[in-house]
Amino acid sequence: MSTSTTSTVKNDRPGSRSRLSAGQRFARRGWKHIAAVVACVFALFPLIYAFSASLSPTGSLLGSNDLFAEVTGANYQNLLTDPQNPFMTWFGNSMFISITTAVGAVLMGAAAAYAFSRFRFKFRGGGLMSLLIIQMFPQLLAFVAIFLLLFSISEVYPFLGLNSRLGLVAVYLGGALGANTFLMYGFFNTIPRDLDEAATLDGASHSQIYWTIILPLVTPILVVVGMLSFIASFSDFLLAQIVLQDPEKYTLAVGLYQFVSVQFGENWGVFTAGAILSAIPVVLLFLLLQRYIVSGLTGGAVKG
Amino acid sequence: MAAVTFDRITCQYPGAERPSVTNLDLDIADGEFLVLVGPSGCGKSTTLRMLAGLEDVTDGKILIGDRDVTDVPSRDRDIAMVFQNYALYPHMTVAENMGFALKIAKVNAEERRRRVEDAAKVLDLTQFLDRKPKALSGGQRQRVAMGRAIVRSPQVFLMDEPLSNLDAKLRVQTRTQIAALTRRLGVTTVYVTHDQVEAMTMGDRVAVLKDGVLMQVDTPRKLYDHPNSEFVAGFIGSPAMNLFRATVHHRQVKLGSLALDLSPAQQEALTTDEVTVGIRPEDMATAQEGTGLPIVAEVVEELGADAYVYGYLAPVTAANTVVRVDPSAQVAEADPDAKDDGASPVVVRTDGRTPLRVGSTVWVAPNTEHIHFFDASTGHRLPQ
């Protein structure tokens, strides 16, 4: 008797929950899943398509509309062994330029932001304002000027001029400095000045305060700035195309373009294979630094 | 350990209309605990920061011991400071925080650890040495900030309202700990606070500032018994001293039904025909009807042993008005809606066991031995 009563009680509970009809339940929660699935497809399909194309032997994009119809590693082999288009050299160039740019952007931006945030000097307000205003003009406007500037420089310092990787790094560093300084300036301001004063009384010099107190506390924004600079320079095409002329010095973006820029000779298979390979460093970087990025972008709102 | 001398120092911020600190002259003896107290904006923190080297001195000299440090950078002054928000380095452990100054000074690791552990033992922080500041409670953080100061054994300790972020109970507890600790270490300490209770309980001497000017520096006892100005009288003491303004007739001051005599010296020093009469709440006692001042009780605060009666003068003695000394918060708080019909708050301490009823009228008479007279126009104390 007692068991039967408990069982009816048990049956009641799920019964009361299922009083919502299937339609109502969908209206409450189900649509979110559908939206998520659509978003995933939207984001992943191009990747899968490119991956499929890179494995397809036809070399044309139309031929690879049937995903994974034929799978071959030929494209990858071509890519890595073609002596006319030295993919590995481009990869190395890209890594060198991007890493140097990222490190340089962080060091320069942080130093500038520290000065703007902590020192009081003439033209401080004006300096900040002009940084902001200069940022408003797209860099496209400056391409001709940059080209002519590098052209003149290369007559005196060939290692910094046209067709040199360091020259390109210098252009990237200068171009991003304003925005980076502004981004970091805001973050530096969230570090209380009392810390600087405490460290001063503890006997630390300006450089000791900068390296041992401030920089460790602004790590998130350093990571974000470094990462943004890395990605921007890694995927930049136009500037690299203007500055670099020798195939030995191409970056990945410029180099890969060569595969598809020849009319009637486009090799999309090799191109997509190269694209897939060149995506790897950026993806790895994101995975590695993910936790910093989230805290860095919201960091200003959180009390240190 | 060293004495500290402020020699007529002035500090004016660029762009400010008037100096934050004006011609401050102050000698602090070796090993003394001196408290700088005053309402907010009175320049006490600026004074401390000038001693720390964090603000520029516009005029005058600061000496630590015999050394003129006016233009010496902070890091070479050999002082340690405890900040209001502690300013602990968030990315370092407690031990690293405390040892930072020694590390900068290139003290070797072993010596450093020994000194940090000694300080941690004194402050009861030994089990927290490996924690980061964010994993500590407010009181523990405060102790780490103290520890960071004492590890260095500096010439002078500076403390800028170090207790204001603690809750009331912890504040009282830490107050006595800090006072005991600095006395044991024998280090000269300059302590800034806006809380006059802290000032009275901790300081060997207390310096009262107002608008950048030093009003009085004395032992807490003397400050309480012989305030040399109306401002100090109203600022020191809680609840605040009652201040009445009254006219002098033939060397006599009429206060309710009482006539108070001025001594010849007092009459001599007087510059106008008005005086401010100051009487502390505990120096007033209930008296027979018709003696002293009639007071209508408005609020009665019962604190157990004592009860404080906040009331206003019954209209009988409307000639006497209570002077509001504006920086003293207690007076202002006691009377949020100052009535303009001559009734202003008067505080009287009565026995807690037989409290007055609100709304009743009571006559109180001052203890004539403890009446303070101040010149109404200059605010200076009249001589005995």
Nearest residue of B to residue A206, measured between CA atoms: B75
Minimum distance, in Å, between the CA of residue B15 and any CA atom of chain A: 14
Contact B80 A203 (CB under 8 A): no
| B226: helix, strand or coil | coil
Contact A197 B101 (CB under 8 A): no
Window from A212-221, B91-100, B246-255 with minimum mean pLDDT = B246-255
Nearest residue of B to residue A196, measured between CA atoms: B87
A265–B contact, CB cutoff 8 A: no
Grade residue A297 by pLDDT with cuts at 50, 70 and 90: low
What integer is the mean pLDDT of B8-27? 90
When the pLDDT of each residue in chain A is averaged and rounded to a whole number, the result is 84
Cross-chain CB nearest to B54 (options A197, A203, A213): A197
B164–A contact, CB cutoff 8 A: no
| Dihedral of alpha carbons A139, A142, A147, A149, sign | negative
Residues in B closer than 8 angstroms to A122, CB to CB, are none
Minimum distance, in Å, between the CA of residue A207 and any CA atom of chain B: 12
| B361: helix, strand or coil | strand
Q: Does B1 score more than 90 pLDDT? A: no
pLDDT digits (tens, 9 = 90+) for A191-221: 889 899 999 999 999 999 999 999 988 988 8
Question: What residue spans of chain B are helical by DSSP H?
Answer: 44-52, 94-104, 109-123, 138-151, 168-185, 196-202, 220-225, 230-235, 264-269, 329-334
Q: Does A265 score more than 80 pLDDT? A: no
Cross-chain CB nearest to A195 (options B54, B73, B89): B89
Minimum distance, in Å, between the CA of residue A198 and any CA atom of chain B: 6
- Output the pLDDT for position B316: 61
Contact A202 B101 (CB under 8 A): yes
Contact B75 A203 (CB under 8 A): yes
Chain A from 181 to 200: CB within 8 A of any B CB: 192, 194-195, 197-200
Residue B9 has phi, psi (to 5 degrees) of: -90, 145
What integer is the mean pLDDT of A233-259? 90
Nearest residue of B to residue A217, measured between CA atoms: B91
* Residues 6+ away with beta carbon under 8 Å from B102: B111, B112, B115, B116, B151, B152
Question: Structure pTM?
Answer: 0.79
Grade residue B117 by pLDDT with cuts at 50, 70 and 90: very high
Nearest residue of B to residue A213, measured between CA atoms: B89
Q: Which amino acid is at A282?
A: V
Q: Which of A201, A209, A210 to mutate to test the interface with B (most CBs of B within 10 A)?
A: A201
B258–A contact, CB cutoff 8 A: no
Contact A198 B89 (CB under 8 A): yes
Nearest residue of B to residue A214, measured between CA atoms: B89
Identify the helix (H) or strand (E) that includes residue A174. Answer: helix A165-189
Contact A200 B74 (CB under 8 A): yes
Q: Does B128 score more than 90 pLDDT? A: yes
* Residue recorded with tokens 């252009």: A171
Q: Does A5 score more than 60 pLDDT? A: no
B98–A contact, CB cutoff 8 A: no
Contact B81 A216 (CB under 8 A): no
Q: How many CB pairs under 8 A join A and B?
A: 57
A126–B contact, CB cutoff 8 A: no
Contact A197 B148 (CB under 8 A): no
Minimum distance, in Å, between the CA of residue A228 and any CA atom of chain B: 25
Q: Does B23 score more than 60 pLDDT? A: yes
- Output the pLDDT for position A207: 93
Grade residue B106 by pLDDT with cuts at 50, 70 and 90: very high
More confidently predicted of B267 and B112: B112
| A236: helix, strand or coil | coil
- Output the pLDDT for position B275: 87
When the pLDDT of each residue in chain B is averaged and rounded to a whole number, the result is 86
- Output the pLDDT for position B264: 86
Grade residue A236 by pLDDT with cuts at 50, 70 and 90: very high
B75–A contact, CB cutoff 8 A: yes
β-partners of residue B33 are: B189
Nearest residue of B to residue A200, measured between CA atoms: B75
What integer is the mean pLDDT of B30-48? 92
Q: How many CA atoms lie within 13 A of B118 on its CB side?
A: 12
More confidently predicted of B313 and A162: A162
- Output the pLDDT for position B52: 93
